[in-house]
Amino acid sequence: MPAENAVERPVDRLSFEEALAELETIVRGLESGKGDLARAIADYERGALLRRHCESRLAEAEAKVQAIVEGPNGPSLRNVD
């Protein structure tokens, strides 16, 4: 679990890897059962935001991978934006 006085970066500014690492830390902390209820609830809320962020980043990556098409000059990436 993050320290209570730690400054949390906005979730939307985290890379997928940063968000996943923070989420894993939160999950380990919650699974340990240590800490008070208020901290657990705050961590759960942060974890939910991180999970949604990771899912969104994965969906974006999946769309880009699915957009790869075979062209006359080899694989190319279709614009999915």
> Bridge partners of 71?
74
Across the range 52-67, mean pLDDT stands at: 91
Whether residue 6 has pLDDT greater than 90: no
Res. 81 pLDDT band, cuts 50 70 90 = low
Query: What is the model's pLDDT at position 66?
Result: 80
**How many structural domains is the chain composed of?**
1
Domain containing residue 47: CATH number: 1.10.287.1040
| pLDDT at residue number 80 | 61
Percent above pLDDT 90 for the chain: 64
Does residue 3 form part of some domain?
no
Which position has the higher pLDDT, 77 or 46?
46
**Residue 35 DSSP code:** S
Tokens of 21: 């690492």
For 29, counting Cβ atoms within 10 Å of its Cβ (0-12 exposed, 13-18 middle, 19+ buried), the class is: middle
Residue 73: strand, helix, or coil: coil
Evaluate whether 25 touches 1 at the Cβ level (below 8 Å): yes
Rounded to two decimals, what is the model's pTM? 0.77
Tell the residue number behind the tokens 């000059």, with chain if given.
Answer: 73
Question: Within a domain: residue 78?
Answer: no
Note whether residue 47 is domain-resident. Answer: yes
